[in-house]
Structure 1
Amino acid sequence: MKLDTPETREINYIQTKKNVIKWFDVEYSKYQRLASLPLLPNNTLSLAPARSTAHANNVEDRTVARTNAKQVLEFINAILDTLDERHKIIIKCRYIQKMTMWQVCEMIALERSQTTLEHRKACYEFARTLDMTAGTNLVAYKETSDNER
């Protein structure tokens, strides 16, 4: 068993948070839309040859995309379940339920400055877990100059 070497680069929490925000705004919302598409009636999915198979293929493609989107959303929920409870609440409230920051402060019973710090940590924890499991690159690192090396 080979273990990965520990990461020695300094984490850029602000950029990581921006990456997570963008991921939820673009990717997560896309999967939510796809997963909520209505299924077409079963009679449109037929294996029998039809005059035009383009419609049947389109229906099948949409069904596959919808199923995949549902699996992605389930996967994200599983990732959220692995996070620290406070971090899980922050991510769900801010990016899935679209609550304001003051509402999140009330939910986790912290002042704004403490919530901001926890928010950055939550984004990092989510990003790191998604990077490890799905191969995304949400965690950002600070640039080091040649003098610092």
Structure 2
Amino acid sequence: MRNELTPQFSILDITVCPVMAHIASLAHSYPMSLSTIETCFGPLYRSIGVYLDGELQGFAILHQIFEDATLMDICIHPKSQGQGLGHLLLQHVIASARDGGAETLFLEVRESGVAARALYIRDGFKEAGRRKGYYKNEEGSEDAILMELKLSR
């Protein structure tokens, strides 16, 4: 019998673009648009959602071509941040990329994304480069930090 006070987390493939766009708009200063998210469904992409008691709380979009995989976005609803859902979702993305034959998982993150960078470093990502002034922000622009994780089988 399930304890009604214990939240039930699940991770599933998703196809709910409008809900994803809404969560992204709440969690990111400069979120992907709905039309951009819609382009991330197809044979080279996998959209993965983390659910709490059946309600989508966050998502990740993984793009993979042969041995290279890229985390296009990862996002947790602000009301659910700090509960370990980002880590849980990232672990699932890493396993999915590895199971798909990827040798390296790449991502980029805003320089101001301190919490996100800490999550990535905690899970073994290393800084691999920078794109100067790549992202828009209130002051004009900020660097994109390129990160990578070598995957072992």
TM-score normalized with structure 2 length: 0.26
Greater Rg by CA:
1
| Greater relative contact order (Cα < 8 A, sep 6+) | 1
